[in-house]
Amino acid sequence: MKYYIGIDLGGTNIVAGVVDEEYNIIAKANTKTNCPRPEKEIADDMAKMAIQAVRNANLDMSDIEWIGIGTPGIANSETGIIERASNLGFKNTPMVKYIQETIDKPVFIENDANAAAYGEYVAGAAKGARNAVCITLGTGVGAGVVIDGKIYSGSNFAGAEIGHTVVQVDGAQCSCGRKGCFEAYSSATGLIRMTREAMAECPDSIMNKMAEERGKVTARTSFDAMRAGDNPAKVVVDKYIKYLAAGITNTINIFQPDVLCIGGGVCNEGDPLLLPVKELVKQEVFTRDSEKNTDIVIAKLGNDAGIIGAAFLGRAGK
């Protein structure tokens, strides 16, 4: 049996996992990222978590084939440098070099959304597909594209930023500097913003009562209130689904993948989210009269996608 290490570097947590050749995570280790702090300290903690995960798996580092890292931002997979990761404060960080100063193994690095997409491609909802796109609806909208088994990241390693395509010209401000991005409307953050706006306009909405009882507004507030029969909440949900379907339709029209999977906490809504999205996409997609169209599914691996995908970056190719 061969074993690999996948490291998921996030703004909040560093998680390392030992993965076997059948895509099973057999042990993990994690610690807080504790940003902001020197990049070398974060790299040292990543190496420590990798070593700890191997110990937790009752293995030795000699059992490990290679290490893969999924990181936010622009990761140059050829040089091993994280060119920019704003939420970590990284700029031109030689991450592969740092890790190899502690662990003498081949190290591969990729954007975290690309790594998660590759995880779904090899072991999750897109397994068996030739071409796939995976979109994650979280704080932002992450995306990864796999074409013929290879991760597509463009000529400058910043490809597949689907979240920063525009679905509403001159719309809501996006963190990237543009207005009306897919991310500004279809992320959990965007859904929360639209929920707050509706609550302000409709103070008698069940959404207000739920938010008061729970102490906060979440991505679930509008869906839960809709299920309780609240009309303003239904308007929010319908609006969210409309924008989500628009972004997915745009993506399908560009890539025409066999499978497009969507993940992230919002997808826990299941069919109340997926079915109307699929119906809208079916009506709007350019190939709507084709015998074969993209299968839209919910991602399967959750937070493990990034670890599994990172662990197999040595096979991903370019």
71 and 149 inside one domain? no
Alpha helices in 215-316 (DSSP H): 221-227, 231-255, 271-284, 304-311, 313-316
84 and 165 inside one domain? no
Can you give the CATH number for the domain in which 232 is found?
3.30.420.40
Q: What is the pLDDT of residue 265?
A: 87
Q: Provide the domain limits for residue 279.
A: 128-298
77 and 184 inside one domain? no
Q: Residue 29 in contact with residue 53, Cβ under 8 Å?
A: yes
What tokens does 17 get? Answer: 């996992």
Please state, in angstroms and rounded to a whole number, the distance separating the CA atoms of residues 18 and 55.
Answer: 10
68 and 133 inside one domain? no
Q: What is the pLDDT of residue 291?
A: 83
187 and 285 inside one domain? yes
pLDDT in tens, 114-147: 999 999 999 999 999 999 999 999 889 999 999 9
213-217 — which CB contacts under 8 Å span 24+ positions?
A: 217/192
Residue identified by tokens 């350019």 is 286
Q: What is the pLDDT of residue 309?
A: 97
260 and 211 inside one domain? yes
Kindly report whether the global pTM for this prediction surpasses the value 0.85: yes
83 and 144 inside one domain? no
Domain count, the chain: 2
Ranges of the chain with pLDDT below 50? 318
Q: What is the pLDDT of residue 317?
A: 62
Please state, in angstroms and rounded to a whole number, the distance separating the CA atoms of residues 269 and 254.
Answer: 27
Please state, in angstroms and rounded to a whole number, the distance separating the CA atoms of residues 67 and 96.
Answer: 10
DSSP-assigned beta bridge partners for residue 30: 15
134 and 104 inside one domain? no
pLDDT in tens, 28-44: 999 999 989 999 999 99
256 and 222 inside one domain? yes
What tokens does 271 get? Answer: 């069919």
46 and 139 inside one domain? no
Q: What is the pLDDT of residue 24?
A: 97
Q: What is the pLDDT of residue 93?
A: 97
181 and 236 inside one domain? yes
99 and 173 inside one domain? no
